Amino acid sequence: MSKTMNNNLISADIARGNMLVAITGDVVEYNSQDILQKIAHLIAQNPQKVTITSTQLGEWDSSLLLVIYETIRMAKTANIAYDVTTLPQNIQSLISLAFAVDRKPSHNSNNQGGFLERTGRSAIGILTKTTNVLAFFGEICMAIGRFFSFRSIMRRIDFLAALNDCGPRALGIVSLISFLVGLILAFVGAVQLQTFGAQIYVASLVTIGMCRIMGAIMVGIIMAGRTGSAYAATIGTMQVNEELDALQTMGLSRIDFLVLPRLFALLLAMPILTMLADIMGMIGGAFVGVFLMNLPYTEYWRYAFNAFNLTNFLVGIFHGFCFGFIIAICGCYSGLTCGRNADSVGIATTQSVVYSVVWMIVVTGIITVICQEIGI
Amino acid sequence: MSKEVKIDVRNLTVGYGDYVLLKDASYQVNKGDIFIIMGGSGCGKSSMLRVLTGLIAPLKGDVFIGGVNIAQGKEADVQKIRTKSGILYQSGALFSSMTLAENIMLPLQQYSDYSPATMREIAKLKLALVGLAGFDDFYPSEISGGMKKRAGLARALALDPEIVYFDEPSAGLDPISSKNLDDLIIEINQSLGTTIVVVTHELESIFAIGNNSIFLDAASKTILARGNPRDLLQNPPNQEVYEFLTRGEKK
């Protein structure tokens, strides 16, 4: 039987104006809610004195201390005298320790002040963040300028390591997901197209869909989760380990050293990965068309190639390029602005993925509207 | 004959936003000193170090290092002192993607015209100076905490700095490693004549290495005492300093 079920270990009562809290036996893992409610009720009756005693006290743990501590706290609040002198000396010492420093309610300075003050603080916060982001973009532009004027301290080995991470090592996951997306696209399309007897156009649907946007979007989402978050976590951990401070005090540009290799690697890898995603998506579509819908193999690919359009393909590649920029910037910015504890690294990682995905969707919308306006 | 002043801090107020950690602090660090910045937790020791190394700008006041005022937050001013100072961070702050030799070569690549081969030899020499000869191709993850600090010190010494800052050098070290690091600090100070600024609250280190110090107080946000730590222990100017230097003994 659980020890918490035994609620007779501590009793409380009032006799002749004196309140007595009596403790006996082994008080371990004691569920104190009921007794504390009773004690609060009794203290509300304003006794002259509260006495806490123990007889044959065996084992005890923090749950007993909690009852004693709360009882004394309630008595103090109600200005009622209390007596704990019959309790074991070690318990008295611990209780003294607990009351040694006044407990003050914790507060967050950001939540202080009235509505206007808090609104002002928020406005200043947004302004500061915007300024920081703009400054970050400015620093990147200057770093790119330094790179092309051969004054950058970017290390070639860092670029190659970043490229290896976001290129060859991402091939597997990008291939698999793109294949499955092509497969899903073909299935969904086939259901509708079959009703018109036009299932052969599944090939066109998958080809246009993957090349124009879906390939780039899928690669973007995969790379935001896989690589952008890794950038944020790596740079964030460097912040925690004071490595960023070390760079700064050595006068080395954090942008040249940390951001440029990652940015260039993603700018190079993303268009290539987007091409791979397009191809794997088309293969996924062909898998459904040929093996599940029994469309002739050559016929499927003839329709697929007919639907292939260089403009669509290049628009997709351009998306990939833009997404690469967004993922690198969001990942690195989140890492560089990370706090100095483990929790902050988690926040920075999450933030990088969320910002990347949101900005990718925003940029996709902008590119789509522009393409619509210029007729491509 | 008066000593050359290496660091001159005048009416410095340190804090973050509206929150002031330390106000109107003034002190000087002489050339060749092992200068201790001590005080209880939260008194602003590490923030003071961040100001001295140009990582943050103070709320008010001036910091002259080698005659250059770095307190105005001008990058060009701070840049002037970069090559003249080295810093050993609490964790060593070695770049995990680089070997120890590459870590040490990094400031050399930025600020010197040495050939890569010479830089590598200098890196090996600096590692040997801190007792890590032969570890040049090791990565930070392959060595112990004490060795990381030594490697961090080797990197701090890469450019033969005039001032080396130490942030809590004994933190996280066993007593023997801590003692060895203290000995190394004294050795560097005496052999190279380097001015050393140490932020710490480790009493053993304070008494072992310090020949000048300031005591920062969180409650009054001021410098409560200054001088040789051993003299301060002999003649404590106030209760706070006495309690700190005697681990809480009451006068």
| A32-to-A61, A91, A94, A188, A263 alpha-carbon distances in Å | 12, 17, 18, 58, 57
Q: Which of A238, A243, A248 sits opposite B55 (nearest CB)?
A: A248
Q: Summarize the confidence of residues A241-262 as an average pLDDT.
A: 93
User: Which amino acid makes up residue B55?
Assistant: L
> Is the C-alpha dihedral spanning A107, A109, A111, A113 positive or negative?
positive
Do A252 and B54 make contact, defined as CB atoms within 8 angstroms?
Answer: no
Amino acid A108: pLDDT: 53
pLDDT band at residue A110 under the 50/70/90 scheme = low
Residues from chain A contacting residue B53 (CB–CB below 8 Å): 249
How is A211-253 classified by DSSP, letter by letter? IIIIHHHHHHHHHIIIIIHHHHHHHHHHHHTTHHHHHHHTT--
| Higher pLDDT pick, A356 / A252 | A356
Which range, of A107-111, B18-22, B100-104, averages the lowest pLDDT?
Answer: A107-111
Residues from chain A contacting residue B110 (CB–CB below 8 Å): 153, 250-252
Do A245 and B55 make contact, defined as CB atoms within 8 angstroms?
Answer: yes
Chain A residue with Cα closest to B79: A251
Amino acid B49: pLDDT: 94
* pLDDT over 70 (residue A4): no
* pLDDT over 70 (residue B179): yes
User: Do B91 and B170 form a contact (C-beta atoms < 8 A)?
Assistant: no
User: Which amino acid makes up residue A317?
Assistant: I
Do B93 and A250 make contact, defined as CB atoms within 8 angstroms?
Answer: no
Amino acid A3: pLDDT: 41
For residue range A330-376, list pLDDT tens digits in order: 999 999 999 988 899 999 999 999 999 999 999 999 999 999 999 88
Q: Summarize the confidence of residues A93-112 as an average pLDDT.
A: 68
User: Do B29 and B36 form a contact (C-beta atoms < 8 A)?
Assistant: no
Which helix (H) or strand (E) segment is B39 a member of? strand B34-39
Quote the percentage of chain B above a pLDDT of 70.
98
From CA A167, how far away is CA A188, in angstroms rounded? 30
Write the CB contacts of A199 (distance below 8 Å, at least 6 apart in sequence). Answer: A190, A193, A289, A293, A295
> Is the C-alpha dihedral spanning A202, A208, A213, A216 positive or negative?
positive
Q: Model's pTM, two decimal places?
A: 0.81
Q: Which of B93, B94, B96 sits opposite A245 (nearest CB)?
A: B93
* pLDDT over 50 (residue B226): yes
Amino acid A103: pLDDT: 56
* pLDDT over 60 (residue A109): no
Amino acid B18: pLDDT: 82
Which of A151, A239, A243, A262 should we substitute to test contact with B (largest number of B Cβ atoms within 10 Å)? A243
pLDDT band at residue A29 under the 50/70/90 scheme = confident
Q: Give which of A70, A87, A79 is closest to A22, Cα–Cα.
A: A87
**B215 min Cα distance to partner chain A (Å):** 25
- ipTM for the predicted complex: 0.85
Residues from chain A contacting residue B93 (CB–CB below 8 Å): 241-243, 245-246
Q: Give the CATH architecture of domain B1-82+201-251.
A: 3-Layer(aba) Sandwich (3.40)
Q: Give which of B191, B182, B238, B239 is closest to B211, Cα–Cα.
A: B182
DSSP lists the bridge partners of residue B36 as B198, B213
For residue range A161-205, list pLDDT tens digits in order: 999 999 999 999 999 999 999 999 999 998 889 888 888 999 999
Chain A residue with Cα closest to B83: A250
* pLDDT over 50 (residue A131): yes
pLDDT band at residue B212 under the 50/70/90 scheme = very high
pLDDT band at residue B41 under the 50/70/90 scheme = confident
Residues from chain B contacting residue A245 (CB–CB below 8 Å): 50, 55, 87, 89, 93
Residues from chain A contacting residue B54 (CB–CB below 8 Å): 248-249
* pLDDT over 90 (residue B200): yes
User: Which amino acid makes up residue A300?
Assistant: Y
| A94-to-A40, A66, A82, A212 alpha-carbon distances in Å | 22, 11, 16, 70
Amino acid A1: pLDDT: 37
Rama region for B42: left / alpha / beta (φ>0; ψ in -120 to 50; rest): left
Do A242 and B107 make contact, defined as CB atoms within 8 angstroms?
Answer: no
Which of A128, A153, A249 should we substitute to test contact with B (largest number of B Cβ atoms within 10 Å)? A249
**In this complex, is the C-beta atom of B211 within 8 Å of any C-beta atom belonging to chain A?**
no
Q: Summarize the confidence of residues A273-298 as an average pLDDT.
A: 94
**A289 min Cα distance to partner chain B (Å):** 47
DSSP lists the bridge partners of residue B88 as B166
For residue range B101-137, list pLDDT tens digits in order: 999 999 998 888 899 999 999 999 999 999 999 999 9
Chain A / chain B CB contacts < 8 angstroms:
46
Do A246 and B91 make contact, defined as CB atoms within 8 angstroms?
Answer: no
From CA A64, how far away is CA A166, in angstroms rounded? 56
Amino acid A111: pLDDT: 57
Q: Summarize the confidence of residues B75-103 as an average pLDDT.
A: 89
- Could you state, in order of their start, the residue ranges of all structural domains in chain B? 1-82+201-251
Residues from chain A contacting residue B106 (CB–CB below 8 Å): 250, 252
Residues from chain A contacting residue B87 (CB–CB below 8 Å): 245-246, 249
pLDDT band at residue B1 under the 50/70/90 scheme = low
HSE, CB side, 13 Å, CA atoms: give it for residue A187.
8
Amino acid A9: pLDDT: 84
Neighbours of B38 (CB within 10 A): 25
From CA A321, how far away is CA B189, in angstroms rounded? 53
Do A241 and B79 make contact, defined as CB atoms within 8 angstroms?
Answer: no
Task: Say if strands A81-83 and A49-60 run parallel, antiparallel, or are unpaired.
Answer: parallel
**In this complex, is the C-beta atom of B111 within 8 Å of any C-beta atom belonging to chain A?**
yes
- Average pLDDT of chain B to the nearest whole number: 91
Q: Which of A241, A248, A250 sits opposite B106 (nearest CB)?
A: A250
* pLDDT over 80 (residue B251): no
- Average pLDDT of chain A to the nearest whole number: 91
Q: Which residues 152-171 of A have a C-beta within 8 angstroms of B? A: 153, 158, 161
**In this complex, is the C-beta atom of A180 within 8 Å of any C-beta atom belonging to chain B?**
no
Gyration radius from chain B CA atoms: 18
